[in-house]
Structure 1
Amino acid sequence: MRIAHVTDVYLPRLGGVELQVHDLATRQQTAGHETLVLTTTAGGRGPDDVPVLRVGLVGAGPYRKVGARNLAETLQAHGVEAVHAHVSAFSPLAWTAARLAAAGGPPTVVSVHSMWHDIIPLVRRFARWQDAAAWPVQWAAVSSAAASAVRAALDGTPVAVLPNGIDPAAWLLPPAPPTDPVPTLISVMRMVRRKRPRALLRTLLGLRATHPGRFRAVLVGDGPLLPGLRREIAAAGAGDDIHLTGALDRTAIRALLSASSVYVAPAPRESFGIAALEARSAGLPVVARAGSGVADFISHGVEGWLVNSDEELRSTLAALLDDPSRAAAVALYNRSVAPCVRWETVLDAADALYARSAAFLGRRTPA
C-alpha cells in the first residue's frame, strides 16, 4: 500500500512528531508498504531513506498554506492509497488532508500527537465549523489521555489509540559501571515551557536542600529556556550536582540512561512521553505525572510511580533516595520485562486503522 504521511512539521526540524513520523514511515517500508512524507517544513540536511515532498514553500516557518485542490492533485499524482495525517495543536496542512476524505479523497487516518485539554473549546468550535466529526476518517491519538480530549473536542466521535513506536531492545544496554557513589536522576526533554524544565529544576534544587550530596541530576535537551536554566543553576551554586547537557543524539542518550538510576518526567500535559518510554525500555524506573500519556505504559508501583503534583514528585524522589532498594526492585523488573508498546504492535494497529478508514468509504485497502 502506498501511504502518504502528511505533517506540517518534519525533519530536519527536530521534535517528537518529526522523529516519530520518520520512524513510522521507515518501519512501514520495511514491512512492505511504500511511504512518502508531505510536509511544509523547508528542506535541509536530513535522512533520505523516506521520499519527502516539501510543498507550499512560501512564507516563514514550517506552517505554509497549501490549498485543498493542490494537495488533492499531489496525492493523486503520486498514487497515494492511504493518507495518515499527523495533527498537533496547530496543523493546517494535516487538517486540509483530513478534510479531503469528505470530498472523495483517499482513506484517511488522523493521528493527534498533542494534548488538547487546554484548547478543547477552541478545537470544538473549529471542528463544528468544519463538520469534522462527520468526516469519513479514522481518528486516533497517541495515548488514552490524549484520546479523551480529542473525543471531547469532536463531540464524542470514536477515537482510537495509536501509540508511538519503539524498539525496546535497542535501548536495553548493560548497566554502566557506576562512576559516582550517589544515584543519578535523569530527564530528557525540549527546554520549552510545556515540558516544565524550570519546575523540574526547582524540584531538584529543593531536593538538594534536604538531601545534600545524596544525588546528581542530568537534564538533556535544548530549547529557549536553556540559558535561563543554566543561570539558575549557577546562582544556586548547584553546578556540581545538576548538569544541563544540551541536545544529544540517541547514542549518547542511551549511554546516559545506562548509567542512571531514575528517570523523571515532570509534564502533566505529556501526550505520550517517548523519552520516558525509552528510559523504561532501558530499565530505569520512571517517575511521571498521573493523567499524562506516560500512564499508558507506566503502572504505579510496577514500572515506576505516578504523581499528582510537583510536591508529590519531590517527596517521591526523596523517598527513593532514602530507600534505594525500591528503585532497584523496579529497575530489575523493567530490565527483565519488555514494555507492551513496540513497533510490531504499532504497525499492526496502524494497518487496522487504514482498513477501518477504507471501510468508511466502502473500499478495501490494498495489501
Structure 2
Amino acid sequence: MRIAHVTDVYLPRLGGVELQVRDLATRQATAGHTPFVITATPGGDPDTAIPAVRLGAPGVGPYRAIRDQDLCRVLREHRADAVHAHVSAFSPLAWSAARLAGVHGVPTVVSVHSMWHDVIPVMRWYARRRGAARWPVDWAAVSTAAAAAVREALDGTPVAVLPNGIDPAAWLAPPAPRDGVPTVVSVMRMVRRKRPRPLLRVLAALRHAHPGRFRAILVGDGPLLPRLRADVAAAGLAGQVRLTGALPRHDIRALLAAADLYVAPAHRESFGIAALEARCAGLPVVARRGSGVADFVEHGVDGWLVGSDAELISTVSGLLTAPGPLAEVARHNRAVVPRLHWDGVLAAAETRYAAAACLQEATRAPVVTA
C-alpha cells in the first residue's frame, strides 16, 4: 500500500509529531508498505529511507499556503492508496489533505496529535465551517483524553484512539549505580504548554521540605530555556536542579537508567511519549490525571496520577519520605512491558486504513429506494 503521510511539521524540525511520523513510516516500510511524506517544512531530506515531498510556498516556518490543485497533483502523481493526515490544531496542509483526499475517493485517516480541550469552541467553529464532520474520513487521536475533545469539537463524530508507538526494549537498560540520593527527571520541550516553570516551583517547594535529599534533571530545549536557567539561579536551585538542554536519545536513555522517578507536569499532554519512554525504562511516573499519560500509567501500578501541582508536591514528598512504594513500582515497571508498542500501533493503523476504505465504499455505494 502506498501511504501518504501528510504533516505540516516534519524533520529536520524536531518535535513529537515529526519523530512519530518518521518512525511510523519507517516501520510501515519494513512491514512491506510504501510510505512517503508530504510536508510544508523546508529543508534537506534527513532520512533517505522515507521519501519526502516538500511543498514550497509563501508562509511562516512550516506553515505555508498550499493551493488545492497543487496538493491534488502531488497525491495523484504519487498514486497514494491511503492518506494519513497528521493534525495538531493549526495544520493547514494536513486539514486540506484530509478534505481533498476524502472527497476524491482516497481512503483517509486523520490523526489528531494535540489536546483540543482549551480550543474546543474554535475547533468546533472551524470544523463546522469546513463541514469536517461530513467528510468521508476516519478520525482518530493519540489518546483517550485527546479523542474526547476531538469528538466534542466534531459534534459527536466517532473518534478512535490510534496511539503513538515505541520500542520498549530500546529504553530498558541495566540500572546504573546509585549514590543514595534519588534523582527526579523530566524531558520536555521548554515551552509554556509543557509547564516547565510550574515544575521548577514544585521542585523549589520540595527542596524546602527535603533539602539535599534529591536532585532533579530537566532535559530539553525551547524558547523558555534561558528564562528557566535564570529562574534556577535566582531561586538558589543550581546545586540541586540541572537543565541540560537538548540531548540525543542515547544520552536520555542513560539518564533514565540512573534516575528514580519521572515527572510529567503538563495537564494538557495529548500523549506523553517522553513519559512512556521513562515508563519503558522502568521508572515510576507521576503525571497529571486526565492527560494522555493516563492511557499507559495506572495509578498506584505504573506510577501516580495527580490532579494539581499541590498534589504533585505531596505525592513526590511522600515518596521521598517513605520510598517503599517507589521501589515497588520500579520493580513492576521493569518487569511488565507497556502495551503501547510498535506491533500494536501498526495493527491499529491498519485497522484505521481499513475503516477509511469502508467509508469510501459506503460513500460510493448507490442508494437503493423502495
What's the TM-score bracket when you normalise by the shorter of the two chains?
Answer: over 0.9
| Cα distance in structure 2, aligned partners of 1:101 and 1:20 | 22
Deviations 1:194-246 (A, max 9, x none): 00000001100110011001000000000111111111111122111100000
* TM-score normalised by the chain length of structure 1: 0.97
**Structure 2 unaligned spans of 5+:** 363-370
Deviations 1:86-116 (A, max 9, x none): 0001000000001013432410000000000
| Cα distance in structure 1, aligned partners of 2:67 and 2:44 | 24
C-alpha RMSD of matched pairs (Å): 1.0
8 Å CA contact 2:102, 2:108 repeated in 1: no
- 2:155 is matched with 155
* TM-score normalised by the chain length of structure 2: 0.96
Residue 58 of structure 1: CA displacement? 2.7
Aligned residue pairs total: 362
- 1:244 is matched with 243
Written as runs of structure 1 = structure 2, the 5 A alignment for 1:74-113 is 74-113=74-113
| Cα distance in structure 1, aligned partners of 2:294 and 2:160 | 16
Deviations 1:7-26 (A, max 9, x none): 00000001000000000000
Q: Give the letter aligned to residue 219 of structure 2.
A: V
- 1:191 is matched with 190
SS for the counterpart of 2:85 is strand
| Cα distance in structure 2, aligned partners of 1:40 and 1:109 | 19
Q: Give the letter aligned to residue 199 of structure 2.
A: L
Residue 45 of structure 1: CA displacement? 6.2
Deviations 1:312-335 (A, max 9, x none): 000000000001111100000000
Written as runs of structure 1 = structure 2, the 5 A alignment for 1:1-367 is 1-44=1-44, 46-178=46-178, 180-362=179-361
Cα distance change on mapping 1:43 and 1:105 into 2, 3 Å: farther
SS for the counterpart of 2:59 is coil
SS for the counterpart of 1:362 is helix
Residue 49 of structure 1: CA displacement? 1.9
| Cα distance in structure 1, aligned partners of 2:247 and 2:20 | 17
Cα distance change on mapping 1:222 and 1:329 into 2, 3 Å: same
Identical amino acids, percent of aligned pairs: 67
8 Å CA contact 1:3, 1:36 repeated in 2: yes
8 Å CA contact 1:42, 1:57 repeated in 2: no
Q: Give the letter aligned to residue 42 of structure 2.
A: A
8 Å CA contact 1:101, 1:135 repeated in 2: no
| Cα distance in structure 1, aligned partners of 2:356 and 2:63 | 26
Q: Give the letter aligned to residue 322 of structure 1.
A: T
| Cα distance in structure 2, aligned partners of 1:317 and 1:234 | 23
Residue 181 of structure 1: CA displacement? 2.4
| Cα distance in structure 1, aligned partners of 2:128 and 2:235 | 50
8 Å CA contact 1:84, 1:108 repeated in 2: yes
| Cα distance in structure 2, aligned partners of 1:33 and 1:102 | 21
| Cα distance in structure 2, aligned partners of 1:132 and 1:102 | 10
8 Å CA contact 1:101, 1:136 repeated in 2: no
